[in-house]
Amino acid sequence: MLEFFNNPDIAIGTKILEIVYFLIGLILIYVGINNLQDKENPKSATTALFWGLLGVVIAFGRWIPEKYVGVLILIMAVPPIFNLVKPGKNDVPTDEYTEKMSNKIGYKIFIPALMIGLFAILFATVFTKLGALVGVTLGVICAAITLKIMNNDTTISTFLADNKRLLDMVGPLCMLPMFLASLGAIFTEAGVGEVIANLVGNIIPKGNVNVGIIVFAIGMVLFTMIMGNAFAAITVMTVGIGAPFVLQYGADPALIGMLALTTGYCGTLMTPMAANFNIVPVAILEMEDKNGVIKNQIIPALIMIVVQIVYMIIFK
């Protein structure tokens, strides 16, 4: 472990992220222990097993041999498969207290949330090259401090309890983005992009960049709907369509790459596979229609797909 942090060839941003992953892992282990001690959780042992092993993999995965990590993931997957991960007891604020804080803080409650996004942008593009994830981490810390200033009742225990409550509410679905991103890398290594290139080569006229852009964008949307994550789709679709049928003929890679990714996000708005965007809010808001979030996003998503395709064609 010390060799990793003392290695000058490893970027400082990577080292900071490893610390972040370690802290996230500890929080997950805490959730597991808390559920194990929860007498009201009917599946306390299996729930604790899931969260505990997930925490171990995230916190110490870099230093655990790969084959053992694979074994831990296989064991960790058993409780969700058999529906043995259940939410435990969570203390929530009373309606009276919530209303009192709402009247006191008002719309200032959005300041901490905005800080997270702002720090991500500043750290990724403006002040440093440490990356957006490092910025998000610092943004979360500053947001927590801001919340403490806004409400002196807020303590570390409050944050830990709310972490547990949110993870209990989301359940194993919290792993879906990580698995889908990994699946994208696996697809790329397996040569799926090359297979797509061969198939699309029979459809797109050689050298017709405009048609290539349209197919690239629509492919990003559809593949993202399948994968649930535009990051998982962008590598495969760029290898299969973007590079050979668009970028090869002189299109601006920065513009095409950026808009292809955001076009993929339009697919995110229309799929239940994007659990953290479209399923989690349903659970948190206790909506009766499980597809209510998606239904409200389809029209804006379709409009934005068209706008971005037109933009790419005009400014390529």
In a domain, 304, yes or no: yes
In a domain, 87, yes or no: no
Q: What is the mean pLDDT of residues 73-77?
A: 92
pLDDT tier for residue 302 given thresholds of 50, 70 and 90: very high
In a domain, 88, yes or no: no
Express each pLDDT in 146-201 by its tens digit: 999 998 888 888 888 888 888 888 888 788 777 776 777 777 777 777 777 777 77
In a domain, 310, yes or no: yes
Express each pLDDT in 196-225 by its tens digit: 777 777 777 777 888 889 989 999 999 888
66 with 195, same domain: the answer is no
Q: What is the mean pLDDT of residues 266-287?
A: 80
Express each pLDDT in 39-64 by its tens digit: 888 899 999 999 999 999 999 988 89
207 with 274, same domain: the answer is yes
- Cα Rg, the chain, nearest whole Å: 22
- Parent domain of 145: 95-170
Say whether pLDDT at 65 is over 70: yes
More confident residue, 102 or 286: 102
Predicted TM-score (pTM) of the model is 0.75
pLDDT of residue 55: 94
Angle at 239 between CA 257 and CA 218, to 5 degrees: 60
pLDDT of residue 48: 94
